[in-house]
Amino acid sequence: MLPSRSISHLIFISLFIAGSVFLSAQDQPEPNAETTGAVRSYGINYNEKYRSPIAVDVEYQSIRPMSISYDEEYRINDFNLRGIYSFKFMPQLQPYAGLGIQLVAPLKAGDTGDAEKFSHNIFYGVFGASYIHKFSKQLEAGGDLYLGLGQALYPNIDTLYNETRGAMEFLAGIGGSAAFNISYNFSLNFHPTLRYRRSFSTLERFNGFSFGLGFGVAYRTGTDPDDPKAEIKSIRFGEFDLPPMFASMQSYYSSNPIGTIELTNTEKFPIHDVNINFMQAGFMDAPTKADSIAEIGPGESVDVDIYAAYNQEVFSIEGISPLTAELSIDYSARGNTGRQMMTVSYDLHDKESLTWDDDRKMAAYITPSDSALRNYASFVRQSARDVVNPGLNESLQVGLQMFYGLTEVGCIYQKDPTSPFDAAQENPFVIDKVSLPRNTLKRGTGDCDDLTALYCSLLESVGIETAFITTPGHIYAAFNTKEEARNYQQIHPDKTRTLNIEGELWVPVEITLIGTSGFEQAWEVGADEFNKYENETEKRGLYRTRDAQQVFRPVGLKETDLGLQYGEKASIARAVDQATGQLVNKIIAYYDQQAREKDSKSGYNRLGTICTQFGEYNRAEQAFNYALALDRNYLPSKVNLANIMFLKGQYQNALRLYHNVEQDYLSRSRTSSAAYARVVLNLSRCYYELQNFDKSADYANQLKELDPGLLRQYSYLTEDGAGASAAEG
């Protein structure tokens, strides 16, 4: 039996170790609200990471009975060996089996009394289970419970026929433990236990409870997961070959897979928190996350799409750059973390290269934000500013202006000798070249895709919506006039010249005719090419630039001054003026023919209105007079003819005609109509221009009663003559 001082020392050591374990637990971070299984999101699950499947423990215990039914004192020493197993699914729960020997001898050596008589040894075996929690790699604590049987041998009790007296014993115990792990494989532990013993014989002297204090050394099998040799490799990579990559598709690759790889869990247990990343050094600011998978089951395979978020550096390469990228897989398995890498080689092509597996890729080369293009477009519009026809569709005129602007700067079509579009379009694996619009503008030559990208870029830079049309072996441009489809005559009298796209009229332009033909011929050829496949619509495609750029954004540019010679403004203005006049004449001619064929007052009135719209006042006057010749009381033509006189500055003639119309409305008592209010307005305006301000004011007051809102648009009519004269001065 241990002296009381020894017992005190053991208790002190026990409290010290328990306190250390408690303080270690207090140092752990607070758990996050989010957890995945047993692994907290803030850090490591030490129980899983440092689990050893099998351990062997050798222990010594000094035992003191808690109730003594005998007078003698005994020294009770216990030596045991345990084999411990740790469950994979719950590493804290550790069943064990043990063998031991307990030596019970008198405290005083040489005692020949009853003490020596009842000295004995117990050989025993136990089965039990521990629950152990690791607070860190070094410290752990827990408790255990066991049951067992033993054979007690009493060599000094009277024997019969010279045989040793023995007895079967029942054993049970419950205890706590605290351990310090010297390394992953070795630990020292402190093990206090409350033990119970009962004999199955009449030898009941030692039955009852006892308290034991034990110390042990354990050896654990396995490899330290922190050792580089312990790296887990639970993932098998499938084949992963990247096709050629293109800088022009930079934005596309960040949201569309560049490839797919199969990942297989080779373990017989699941792996968790699988994160897949793709990294290209030099061309990415950070790894591109491909996917996160909560769990991959034992033997399970998953297909993962790989993405690539390249930075702007990809636009700086020239030609072809052979690259090697890394695919990394991070995951956890049974509390251990693993990382596996795979390298993949591929070619990265410069920003002017692409394959035509998707015609929408053209959108990546339409660059309206390029300042060089914006500056040139502004120059062209300024050149044609004085020849703009206010009655003709604005978008149509801008399209016409850009065409002749490119003609003036010397742009011509030149077929690409190395990778022509027709050959590249037929084979999606052929790598084609599309020149950036700024380079085409500077060079002055390009094939169909180069010139289409340039023309669309210029139009988009001034707010005109564009599209590109593909037909077998060809690509060309189109732009939106924003004119309603029912008003096609306002664009061109031939309905087949315009494309009805969602109720709006689009103009196709065969841009390869630039430098050799005029705008109208390029327009006609573009329309004919589109209509050629009216019965085979699968052979043609129209892709709106702004829609396609939602998928294929424009390539990044390093903007520099092109040093471009813009050409002569006067030359651009002459070409635009001539082409605009020809187009206006065609539209007027159409309405003239319609009027002649019908020979109706409404037809000639419509012709006059169109002529007025385009500023052809003399032809408009002639048309309204034809209408009035057919019906001298035809009120619409009377009003329109008066309007022409006013626009031509013939205010006396206009005044006479407006008064005539006024009498017509008065005689028919139609003075409440909006049309009559307009007549009153025009009478006031005529008198104002003739400087008869009193009469102008009289009619202005009438208008105030009829339509105050209309009068507010011409507030100068309410001013007196002096005020008006001063304003004009």
Shared domain check, 264 and 199: no
Residues 390-396, mean pLDDT to the nearest whole number: 94
Average pLDDT value for residue range 275-283? 94
Q: Say if residue 490 is in the same domain as residue 442.
A: yes
Residue type, 13: I
Contact 495, 488 (CB under 8 A): yes
Do 447 and 388 lie in a common domain? yes
Domain for residue 192, yes or no? yes
* pLDDT attached to residue 427: 67
DSSP structure class, residue 514? B
411 assigned to some structural domain: yes
The b/e string for 85-95 (b: 16+ C-beta within 10 A; e otherwise) is ebeeeebbebe
273 and 168 both lie in a single domain: no
Query: DSSP string of 465-494?
Result: -EEEEEETTEEEEEEEEEEEGGGGGGT-S-
CA distance 707 to 646: 21
Tell me: do 208 and 269 sit in the same domain: no
371-383 and 394-409 are packed helices; what angle lies between their axes, rounded to 10 degrees?
Answer: 110
> How many domains is the chain built from?
4
Domain of residue 293, CATH code: 2.60.40.2550
Residues 214, 248, single domain; the answer is no
- The domain that contains 68 carries what CATH number? 2.40.160.20
**Which has more pLDDT, 418 or 262?**
262
* Residue 260 domain boundaries: 231-349
Which two three-digit tokens encode residue 598? 């019908």
Q: How far apart are CA 66 and CA 273, in angstroms?
A: 52
At residue 222 the predicted structure's pLDDT band, cuts being 50, 70 and 90, is confident
Three-state SS at 56? strand
Q: Tokens for 246, please give them.
A: 């293109």
The CA angle 157-160-161, to the nearest 5 degrees, is 130
DSSP assignment of 42-53, as one string?
Answer: TS--HHHHT--S
* Percent above pLDDT 70 for the chain: 87
pLDDT score, position 164: 61
Q: Does a structural domain hold residue 582?
A: no
Query: How confident is the model over 443-497, as pLDDT tens digits?
Result: 999 999 999 999 999 999 999 999 999 999 899 999 999 999 999 999 999 999 9
- DSSP codes, 221-271: -S--TTSGGG----EEE----PPPEEGGGHHHHTTS-SEEEEEEE-SSS-E
Same domain, 360 and 331: no
The span from the CA of 36 to the CA of 39, in Å, is 5
Task: Give how far the C-alpha of residue 683 lies from the chain's centroid of Cα atoms, to the nearest Å.
Answer: 63
What's the mean pLDDT when you consider all of the chain? Answer: 86
Distance CA 637, CA 602 (A): 9
- Whether residue 314 has pLDDT greater than 80: yes
Contacts of 587 (CB under 8 A, 6+ apart): 489, 490, 492, 493, 610, 614
* Phi, psi (degrees; rounded to nearest 5) at 487: -105, 35
The reported pLDDT for the residue numbered 26 is: 42
Q: What CATH number does residue 417 fall under? A: 3.10.620
When comparing pLDDT for 204 and 111, which is higher? 204
Give me the amino acid identity at 665: Y
Q: Which residues pair with 167 in a beta bridge?
A: 152
Domain with residue 678: its CATH number is 1.25.40
Residues 270 and 382 in one domain: no
Alpha helix (H) residue ranges in 599-634: 601-613, 617-630
Nearest CA to 346 out of 285, 288, 280, 251 is that of 280
pLDDT in tens, 43-96: 578 888 888 889 999 999 999 888 666 656 788 999 999 999 998 888 999 999
pLDDT at 281 > cutoff 90: yes
Q: What is the pLDDT of residues 118-162, one digit of tens each?
A: 888 999 999 999 999 999 989 999 999 999 999 998 888 765 444
Q: Of 533, 568, 603, which one is at a domain's C-terminal end?
A: 568
Looking at 543, 568, 593, the residue that finishes a domain is: 568
Verify that 206 and 84 share a domain, yes or no: yes
